[in-house]
Amino acid sequence: MSTTVLSPQETRIQEQIENKQAQPAHHTRANDILARVRAQKPHVDVERGLLFTESFRQTEGEPLVLRWAKALYHYAEKATVYVDKDQLIVGRGGGEGRYGLLYPELDGDTLDLAIKKLPTRESSPFDIAPEDAKTIIEDIAPYWKGKTFHEDLAKALGPETMKLTYNPDEALTSRYVVNETASFRSSLQWVHDYEIVLKKGFGGLRAEAQERLAQLDEFSPIDNCEKRPFLEAEILTADAIILWANRHADEAERQAAEEGDPKRAAELQRIAETCRWVPEHPARTFYEAMQSQWFTQLFSRIEQKTGTIISNGRMDQYLYPFYKADKEAGRITADEAQELFECMWVDMAQYIDLYLSDAGGAFNEATPTGRPSPSEARPPKATTRPTS
């Protein structure tokens, strides 16, 4: 007699098919966070797009690398910061729930048309508040007309490729014959050097850039036209993420002062102390290392779109020394370390790549970690996905 053995994932899928509710092996704070966001349709958050547009309006004519750093600083200074209920690892790029960000520098030329389709399209639908749609149409999209990567790419395509890539009767809409992915920023994966941040902190990286800046030859065209803007941008970017982290500390302290539950108030105070230290300084504990890694990862997503995966890299290598030291000193248990990982996983799961085009939505319908998004409130059906 043959016996079918299912993996845990296959078991959950089978239970869902049979309309059974799969129960978690153990209840954690991550379950509570997921329960609040799982059934929500992703929404469009306009802050990143609006703040970058405001900054780019003010910096026209400056070197692009410096304009980008100034836009990041403007975001860090003005954007809403979130310290979510139950969370231990804080920081998000959009409002509560699952969210997508706008990158108008890539495809802002189609923003005013795309937002009308986003809530109802079949692949990767996104909700958008009426006031946010008005902001896109009136404040963001007009500035980027004629300035986007999307338009420059279309102009660079030869006529034979162009007619196979985009519909001639509907500008820059894919024909699914030749499906370009450059404007989706697709790649294999991006792996940041988290270890250098954990060891030096952005304060240390900023100091290194300041030292190199001081060594430039003031009479050298290369030093002044190429190296100086890059180093100034590096310093400004470090200042931006440090400011952003400190604003999270401010918010955690505000919540701690108003919190009626002593246990949560203590957690919020610890969050504030952690965000005051990292990512500006080298991490001293496993908790600080986890928070510093997440700030670095998320701020990179705010900096620019990465259409596939921002990888966590070899977490076992760069995080283990912090875990080992804390474990030996009695500062952390295995269960507490697992809880921090779970908090980071649900942070990652709430960022959803937003693609304005139907082709991008269909081609990349998944979370940024490559795992399927939580199912929408509609029955699944077979689809044929375009291939590049």
What's the rounded mean pLDDT across residues 133-162? 91
| pLDDT for the residue numbered 188 | 63
pLDDT at 186: 67
With 90 as the cut, is the pLDDT of residue 276 above it?
yes
Task: Examine the pLDDT at 318 and tell me if it is beyond 90.
Answer: yes
More confident residue, 274 or 168: 274
pLDDT band at 367 (very low <50, low <70, confident <90, very high): very low
Q: 26: pLDDT confidence band, cut at 50, 70 and 90?
A: low
The pLDDT value recorded for residue 371 is 41
If residue 185 lies in a helix (H) or strand (E), which one and from where to where?
A: none
pLDDT number for residue 190 = 83
pLDDT in tens, 53-75: 999 999 999 999 999 999 999 99
Query: CATH says 41-363 is which class?
Result: alpha beta
pLDDT score, position 154: 85
Look at the alpha carbons of 356, 362, 367, 369 in this order and tell me if their dihedral is positive or negative. Answer: negative
pLDDT at 369: 46
Residue 4's pLDDT is 65
Residue 303 vs residue 170, higher pLDDT: 303
How open is the CA angle 282-293-67, to the nearest 5 degrees? 90
Indicate the pLDDT class of residue 388, thresholds 50, 70 and 90: very low
Peptide bond into 279 cis (omega under 30): yes
Mean pLDDT taken over the chain: 87
Q: Could you please report the per-residue DSSP string of 214-264?
A: HTS-TT-HHIIIIIHHHHHHHHHHHHHHHHHHHHHHHHHHHHHHH---HHH
- Got the DSSP string for 306-338? -SSEEE---HHHHHHHHHHHHHHHTS--HHHHH
pLDDT in tens, 332-344: 999 999 999 999 9
**Share above pLDDT 70 across residues of the chain, in percent, rounded to a whole number:** 85
Residue ranges covered by each domain of the chain: 41-363
- Return d(Cα 23, Cα 11) in angstroms, integer: 11
User: Would you state the pLDDT for residue 306?
Assistant: 81
pLDDT for res 303: 95
Report the percent of the chain where pLDDT is more than 90.
63
Q: Is the pLDDT of residue 260 over 70?
A: yes
**Which tens digit of pLDDT belongs to each residue from 165-175?**
888 776 667 78
Q: What is the pLDDT of residue 19?
A: 59
- Per-residue pLDDT band for 157 (boundaries 50, 70, 90) equals confident
For residues 190-207, give the mean pLDDT: 96
Position 315 pLDDT exceeds 50: yes
At residue 329's C-alpha, the angle toward residues 328 and 333, to 5°, is 70
Helix (H) or strand (E) holding 152: helix 149-156
CA distance 237 to 229: 12
Q: What pLDDT is stored for residue 219 in this prediction?
A: 96
**Range 90-98 average pLDDT:** 95
